[in-house]
């Protein structure tokens, strides 16, 4: 169950980084509130997940989900470049996250 909580926390990390960009330096109230809600929920859920998961593994997975998700949002919605090397290293990051989860119990 805590892996699911950690994944949701990672999604909220993607949410707060996206809201941060859309907040226009915190001048857009709606996106600023979205940022505050997302970052709060992300940290609360990360804290909950680290009660049973190894802290280093949980943090690495949380930041990895956030990084991968934020890059995908950037490419999809903000027209950021999708170069070969960018996609290659995102794929290696995904592989690393999967490896951390797989070997966390070994």
pLDDT score recorded for residue 42: 98
Residue ranges making up the domain that contains 56: 1-104
The total of structural domains in the chain comes to 1
**Do residues 42 and 94 lie in contact, with contact meaning Cβ atoms separated by under 8 Å?**
no
Torsion of CA 86, 91, 95, 100, to 10 degrees: 50
pLDDT digits (tens, 9 = 90+) for 38-49: 999 999 999 999
pLDDT score recorded for residue 106: 47
pLDDT score recorded for residue 98: 85
């Amino acid at each position: 169950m805590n892996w699911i909580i950690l994944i949701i926390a990672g999604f909220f990390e993607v949410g707060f980084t996206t809201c941060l960009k859309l907040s226009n330096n915190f001048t857009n109230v709606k996106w600023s509130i979205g940022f505050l809600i997302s970052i709060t929920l992300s940290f609360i859920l990360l804290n909950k997940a680290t009660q049973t998961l190894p802290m280093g593994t949980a943090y690495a997975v949380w930041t990895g989900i956030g990084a991968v998700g934020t890059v995908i949002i950037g490419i999809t919605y903000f027209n950021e470049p999708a170069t070969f090397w960018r996609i290659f290293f995102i794929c290696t990051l995904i592989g690393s996250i999967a490896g951390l989860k797989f070997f966390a119990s070994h």
